[in-house]
Structure 1
Amino acid sequence: MKLLWNRFALILAGCFLLAASGCALFRQPESQIATLDLSHSIQTLTAAAPTAAETPTPSAIPVPETAAGQNEAAVILIPLRTDDPNAEPTLIPTSTPKPAAENKDGSDQTTAVQEALADGGVYNRNGRRPTHPVFRLESIPTPRTEDITYTVVSGDSVAAIANVYQVPVSAIQDRNNLANPELIQIGQTLIIPAVEPEALSIGSAIVPDREIVDGPSTFNPETFLSDYPENLLTNYIEPTPTPYPTAEPDDPVLPTPVFNARGGLEILNEVALENAVNPRILIALLEYQSQTITNDPPRRFLIEDYIGALGWRTSLDHQLSWAANTLNFGYYQWKNNRINQWILADDSVVAVDPSVNAGTAALQYLFSKLYGREDWINAIGPDGFRATFESLFGTFSDAELSLHDPPESEPESALPFRAEDEWFFSSGPHYGWASGSPWSAIDFVPGDAIGCSASSYPVTAAADGLVVYSDAGLVVVDLDMDGDARTGWTHLYLHVGSKDRVALNARVRQGDPIGYASCEGGFSSGTHLHFARRYNGQWIQIDGANPLVLSGFEAFSTGTVYDGYLVNGDQVVEAWYYQNDANRIDR
């Protein structure tokens, strides 16, 4: 992104939503886990993707025979290291590059201007007409076998670098002789070692994909929880009221405390709706991790560790939000063939069976952030989380595992504001909600807003629909008007202020006002609108397969989060942090 200091006011680059972060081992509190940073794309780690003939299938890797009577679906870890120097290397899938900006002719989008298309037309700042990056890879690349170097920049930490390059923190620390991994300097060159997986996980399915996404379903959490009267969610309230101290006679009058209490069930429903994650999976995680659904929770669980020891994330809202965001990251990265080895809490490196479904991969990823090798094996095995899930919600068949749910034709949509009002394109494709969700949102800023000031320019409906949620800065419009946000197309409008916000259950036509942009909802440093799409509960990333077109303007990513363009014929609008001629939308 460019920066421009000019006469215009500072506006938001994007939505700063609560992102997944670090955690510590839940069942073994003495273990330490590095902070998890999901705010970066995975960097290039690998050689060219192997062909199908070069990549071994799971059946080509010898599996130890099971003992008589042993559960054949049990998790098996196959050692990959060998002491034989003449042994042929085994190709095990590993983490993959960040999206590559590629033109339709196969050339790189960053090609110099002189190599641009000979004919006229509209070009981005690199001399090429904007094109969609490739988010979903066709095959899994081979592991990186050589060390590479990385230069530390502002905002870096060893934990964040390790997460980007999918290596253990300890590997970077040891390779660079860092006495304290928290002490690195801008400009410092670090060696990022190639890591060899210690084992390949051949595991059973944990849950079907549909149990991760909040898609079509008749499940009602309140009805389900009524069978467990002592459950945590029904009996939880947050935040816990804290009385203000009594004022002395000479003290100024204390302000009236603002206490917006939320119950556990309300928090569950909000986290599920916001992240588009199935509430059933969150309920099952609470039961598996802390037994707080079927049992009266012990006193210590009234404070923290509902999902895991996540540092400062001790509230139920924080714990469920972390879990939902982490599940989203594992689920969508797996569907894009972009993450397939786990760095466990004890820094073990495990390559994952590439045949598992995305729902199973999402849970393997989540548990990799909570557990070391032994507990992780237990969690992903048939007697681990799956057994808990099935005890609550029943069994499923392997035929139900994968979710093949390509979006149907999307209703024609318009820019979410009036043509006569001045608006600016402030952020290209980025996270739909928190940083675990795919790049499915773009941002706009009204021209009359300064900081978090109110705007007089209304946000308008991009398409006809029924308002199925309107609270806390978020408006969700159901385009098929069946009243269920889990089915069909939905549009999400975030940071819509409470003033004149459209009412729940209102029917809107394209162009109808639904409220005004603000700083309400999530975290925001300036008044703006965050717009995203979902279909049958799944985030729809902005790419060539599912382009986002509003009033003829098609959104393009450059492959860098928040950076992008809107293109309508010969008109190209570039996303900028600040209001200027380059990002003003004229129509």
Structure 2
Amino acid sequence: MIPLLSAMKMAAKNLTFRFQNRNNKEAGNLMDSKQHSVKNRLLFALNILMVVGLLSACTEVQSTMVVPPIVSPTQSTLEADSSTPYPSRPVYPPGTLVDYTAQNGDNLAAIANHFNTNVAEILEANPLLPKTITTLQAGFQLKIPIYYKALWGSQFQILPDALYVNGPAQTGFDTVSYVNSQPGWLKNYTVFAGDKMRTGGELIDLVALNYSISPRVLLALAEYQTGALSQPELADNLRIYPLGYENQFYRGFYLQLVWAASLLNNGYYRWRNGSLDEINRTDGTLEIPDPWQNAATVAFQHYFSQKLSIQDYDDAIQENGF
């Protein structure tokens, strides 16, 4: 397996090449300047997560999630979900045993909920598991009886869990210095938070500490939604509710960031403990997170589903999105 650091650096390099190549091909077309700016910010946010932050990390981190081979779906199934970079999951016969590799923090009850089965059936399919086992060791190979649910979501993993949390992978990353080195409005932002005035970089560190979320994740989110690192000025329509949560008690970037961190963690830990069954999208439709999905990805799916249109949501959670 390619180390995650190398793989993500390669992915960022390839993404940059594809983005530039696509721009060259479209050079003859008229393009709305706002759309062009958004595309640049998407690329910028991805590179923050994939390259800049990871280059300063001291430890190579690998995802423990291994998506098993997918049974060949029918042509109609492929056509039904052509927006995703992966084929749709097949309609498994009830109780089909599928391979699953335990992720960090997994427990049998949560896994059973994800695959629409129960703990007793998992234990029966894995006779070597102790009957009293709770949390599983990451990397443990399991056979899981799966019961198909309609509306399974994207299989694309946005971010490994180890890069979501404010943990060892963030060692050596100087948030304040990084923010101050960028041309965006965040470096000039100040706010009273945590009993004192703080700069934009200091605010990111404060929220990262309080919610145990990587400062790189918060920076990438702020860039994706507001151009915090690339745009010299915050757009007028984003000054009051920059992250889109229109609530009078969450006015301004600081409180919007607090709301975002709380919502992300709500999705992350509810997927971990098995209490998140579905994602409610803005048009009233439902999406069921893919059973093999990791908690960080579900956290972003849960977050983006709250405010984005269906098209913007689909764009955000796919390979060339957030």
TM-score w.r.t. the length of structure 1 is 0.31
Out of 236, 241, 253, which is 2:189 matched to?
236
Out of 384, 387, 409, which is 2:321 matched to?
384
Q: Percent identity?
A: 28
Cα 1:214–1:76, aligned 2, differ >3 Å: closer, same or farther? Answer: same
Cα 1:206–1:279, aligned 2, differ >3 Å: closer, same or farther? Answer: same
Matches for 1:41-440 after TM superposition, within 5 Å:
59-60=70-71, 62=73, 64=75, 74=85, 137-140=110-113, 199-216=151-168, 217-228=171-182, 230-238=183-191, 260-300=196-236, 303-312=239-248, 313-385=250-322
Cα 1:77–1:238, aligned 2, differ >3 Å: closer, same or farther? Answer: farther
Measure, in 2, the Cα distance between the counterparts of 1:354 and 1:222.
38
Measure, in 2, the Cα distance between the counterparts of 1:327 and 1:75.
24
Task: Specify every segment of 5 or more residues in structure 2 that has no aligned partner in the other structure, as ranges.
Answer: 1-37, 39-67, 97-106, 117-147
Cα 1:204–1:384, aligned 2, differ >3 Å: closer, same or farther? Answer: same
1:212 touches 1:327 (CA, 8 Å); kept in 2? Answer: no
For the pair shown, the structure with the greater C-alpha radius of gyration is: 1
Cα 1:135–1:345, aligned 2, differ >3 Å: closer, same or farther? Answer: farther
Amino acid at match of 1:236: Y
Task: Specify every segment of 5 or more residues in structure 1 that has no aligned partner in the other structure, as ranges.
Answer: 1-26, 28-56, 81-87, 92-133, 144-195, 241-258, 386-587
In the TM superposition, residue 61 of structure 1 has moved relative to its aligned partner by 7.9
In the TM superposition, residue 299 of structure 1 has moved relative to its aligned partner by 4.2
1:199 touches 1:349 (CA, 8 Å); kept in 2? Answer: yes
2:113 touches 2:274 (CA, 8 Å); kept in 1? Answer: yes
Q: 1:116 matched to which residue of 2?
A: none
In the TM superposition, residue 74 of structure 1 has moved relative to its aligned partner by 2.0
1:330 touches 1:365 (CA, 8 Å); kept in 2? Answer: yes
Measure, in 1, the Cα distance between the counterparts of 2:269 and 2:225.
23
Measure, in 2, the Cα distance between the counterparts of 1:214 and 1:381.
24
Cα deviation, 1:38-84, whole Å, max 9, x if unaligned, reads xxxxxxxxxxxxxxxxxxx88358365879xxx9962667799xxxx
2:176 touches 2:200 (CA, 8 Å); kept in 1? Answer: no
Cα 1:78–1:347, aligned 2, differ >3 Å: closer, same or farther? Answer: farther
2:283 touches 2:309 (CA, 8 Å); kept in 1? Answer: yes
Measure, in 2, the Cα distance between the counterparts of 1:304 and 1:319.
9
Q: 1:17 matched to which residue of 2?
A: none
Matches for 1:502-521 after TM superposition, within 5 Å:
none
Measure, in 1, the Cα distance between the counterparts of 2:72 and 2:273.
24
1:327 touches 1:366 (CA, 8 Å); kept in 2? Answer: yes
Measure, in 1, the Cα distance between the counterparts of 2:282 and 2:83.
27
Cα 1:136–1:265, aligned 2, differ >3 Å: closer, same or farther? Answer: farther
Amino acid at match of 1:362: A
- Residue 113 of structure 2 aligns to a residue whose secondary structure is coil
Measure, in 1, the Cα distance between the counterparts of 2:237 and 2:175.
21
Measure, in 2, the Cα distance between the counterparts of 1:262 and 1:361.
31
1:63 touches 1:78 (CA, 8 Å); kept in 2? Answer: no
In the TM superposition, residue 367 of structure 1 has moved relative to its aligned partner by 0.9
Measure, in 2, the Cα distance between the counterparts of 1:90 and 1:377.
30
More strand by share: 1
Cα deviation, 1:342-381, whole Å, max 9, x if unaligned, reads 1112211011211111111111111111223222111100
2:240 touches 2:251 (CA, 8 Å); kept in 1? Answer: yes
- Residue 210 of structure 2 aligns to a residue whose secondary structure is helix
More helix by share: 2
Cα deviation, 1:554-573, whole Å, max 9, x if unaligned, reads xxxxxxxxxxxxxxxxxxxx
Cα 1:378–1:90, aligned 2, differ >3 Å: closer, same or farther? Answer: farther
- Residue 187 of structure 2 aligns to a residue whose secondary structure is coil
Amino acid at match of 2:318: G
Amino acid at match of 1:199: L
Q: 2:13 matched to which residue of 1?
A: none
